Amino acid sequence: MLRLALTHPSIAHEQGTPVEHNQRLEFLGDAVLQLALTRELYEKFPAFDEGPLTKARAKLVNRRALAVHGRALGLGAHLIVSRGEELNGGRERPSALADAYEALVGAIFLDGGFAVARDFILREFEAGMGQLNVIPILENPKGELQELLQARSSEAPRYHVASATGPDHDRVFECTVHHAGAELARGSGKSKKAAESEAALAALLKLRAQAAEPAPESQPTNE
């Protein structure tokens, strides 16, 4: 199975005859990777819904990231490739490394089962998961906050510049974000836009943490 995981499809094209290669294992390994990391993110971030979790997973599992993992394991030196692929630098091609990495995960799954494959994946992605310790990086926190709030009411969040300090060439802005007459959070940055984004991010974290808190139990009454 290891040999199959490392067999590039170019071998079949070169020989012109049916030859098993790693595409089927790649297909399987992709699903195993997605499941293992999705479960880990689901358990690690109970306060976040599908949108941020999907973005966090996409930062961990993409062709470029998988190629980095494949290169770190030295898979390129062991790939079984055609002569043409060899001459064209196919061993270090990111797509070939990413595919071989997914195929390797598929082979580990078939050989040892999901628990073994999951342990391998979590060891491999430990550093990347560590970078998500606080909050999955959001590309548009203002948009996500507006979407979250407008699911509750038609009122949009409002932003105010609370202060601007420092010399003109090195200003620091502090912004607040409000909704329904209440201040949700504050943020700071080198521009108004950056400060508003930080405020929105802080508000999202606060609101999602509140949503994840268990409802208080009702106290028994003395009769």
Cβ of 182: how many Cβ atoms within 10 Å? 6
Question: Is residue 132 helix, strand or coil?
Answer: coil
Look up residue 166 and give its amino acid: G
Instruction: Specify whether the CB–CB gap between 79 and 91 falls below 8 A.
Output: yes
Token couple for 87 = 């001459």
Q: Which residues are known to be catalytic?
A: 30, 102
**Burial class of residue 184 (count of CB atoms within 10 Å of its CB; 0-12, 13-18, 19+):** buried
Question: Is residue 219 helix, strand or coil?
Answer: coil
Instruction: Specify whether the CB–CB gap between 103 and 1 falls below 8 A.
Output: no
Instruction: Specify whether the CB–CB gap between 66 and 101 falls below 8 A.
Output: yes
